[in-house]
Amino acid sequence: MSGILWFIRIGFLLLLVGASPQEEREYVRLYYPNGNVKAAGWIADHVREGYWYFYADDGTLEREGHYNEGRPSNWWIYYDAQGKPAHKCQLEDGMKNGYCLKYTEGELSSASRYSKGRFVKEWKDLKSFKRENSLLDLY
């Protein structure tokens, strides 16, 4: 019987040693000296992960977007002083990679394409943009 217990104990220890540690994930808020929120989002294994919000010291939203392994990725939205979207950009590893949409007074005014941080082309109207691109690329 002790041989079976020994086998079970060794198997349990092997499971413990081979198990990967649980990812630490917590929602954090960073603050300005005046008490207003500066940034809020998820931290996983000591890096920004998931969706984040960034605010000016007066409390207005400046930008929001995704982090992947500590780098900005996917869509990011940047706001003007009135709280309206000024532009939205697709990012990968912190660089523009995909489309950037610019807004004037809340209305779409132009679209640009970037590849690995390099400017490719700009369209000033939706008709010309749709002629050369698929709207599905914006999702």
> Whole domain around residue 31: which residue ranges?
21-138
**Within a domain: 4:** no
The model carries a pTM of 0.76
Q: Is the pLDDT of residue 20 over 70?
A: no
Q: How far apart are the first and last CA of the chain?
A: 61
Are 88 and 77 contacting, i.e. CB atoms less than 8 angstroms apart?
yes
**Cα 91 from Cα 97, distance rounded (Å):** 5
**Cα 70 from Cα 45, distance rounded (Å):** 10
**Within a domain: 25:** yes
Are 116 and 95 contacting, i.e. CB atoms less than 8 angstroms apart?
yes
Q: Which phi and psi (to 5°) does residue 16 adopt?
A: -65, -45
Confidence class for position 8, pLDDT limits 50, 70, 90: very low
CATH code for position 111:
2.20.110
**Cα 49 from Cα 66, distance rounded (Å):** 7
pLDDT per position as a tens digit, 23-58: 688 999 999 999 999 999 999 999 999 999 999 999
**Within a domain: 1:** no
| Domains identified in the chain, total number | 1
Which has the higher per-residue pLDDT, 109 or 17? 109
pLDDT per position as a tens digit, 81-110: 888 999 999 999 999 999 999 999 878 899
**Within a domain: 29:** yes
